[in-house]
């Protein structure tokens, strides 16, 4: 399942998509993220499965643009810590 966390507003679209079919729940993103936006929980969108997956914390979902700003300087941008840390490549940013 592709879970899109974030929002769209007048200034653009800010979504982090987590592919739960690829995510193995290893938690590397949780450790890599300097803003602490990830957590590993039971998949909230598939209540009958027992798999643990990465999700974006509730309190970051409506301000993800600002939570992620630290890793997204204008100009030259280094690889994002979360996507770089994710071995199965389950994380994608829309902006």
Partner 1 sequence: MTEAVATAQKREYWRWREYDWRDESLDWKRAGGISVGIDVGSVSSQAVVMCDGKLFAYSSLRTGSNSKTSAQRALEVALQETGMPREKVNYLVATGYGRVNIPFAQKAITEIACHARGANFIYGPTVKTVLDMGGQDCKAIRCDGRGKVTNFLMNDKCAAGTGRGMEVMAELLQIPIEDVGPASLSLPEEPPPVSSTCVVFAKSEALGLLRQNWSKEKVLGSFCLAMAHRTVELLSRVGVEKDFAITGGISKNIGIVKRIETKLGVEALKPSIDPQIAGALGAALFAKALYEKELSGNAKTGS
Least distance in Å: CB of 68 to partner 1? 16
Is the Cβ of residue 36 or residue 46 nearer to partner 1 in the bound state?
46
The strand ranges marked E within 1-95 are: 2-9, 12-19, 38-42, 52-56, 91-93
Is the Cβ of residue 9 or residue 36 nearer to partner 1 in the bound state?
9
Find the DSSP H helices in 1-95.
Answer: 28-32, 64-67, 81-85
- 8 near partner 1, judged by CB under 8 A: yes
Closest CA to 70 of 27, 32, 44, 13: 32
Work out which of 9, 12, 41, 66 binds partner 1, going by CB under 8 A: 9
Distances 29 to 25, 36, 89 between C-alpha atoms, Å: 9, 9, 11
Q: Binding pattern to partner 1, positions 22-61, x when CB under 8 A?
A: ----------------------xxxxx-------------
Token pair for residue 73? 């300087």
Binding residues for partner 1 (CB under 8 A) = 1-4, 7-10, 13, 15, 44-48, 62
């Amino acid at each position: 399942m592709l879970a899109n966390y974030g929002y769209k507003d007048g200034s653009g679209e800010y979504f982090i998509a987590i592919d739960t079919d690829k995510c193995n729940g290893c938690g590397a993103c949780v450790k890599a993220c300097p803003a602490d936006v990830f957590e590993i929980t039971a998949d909230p969108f598939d209540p009958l499965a027992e798999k643990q997956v990465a999700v974006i914390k509730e309190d970051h979902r409506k301000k993800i643009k600002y939570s992620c700003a630290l890793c997204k300087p204008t100009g030259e941008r280094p690889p994002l810590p979360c996507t770089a840390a994710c071995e199965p490549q389950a994380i994608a940013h829309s902006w």
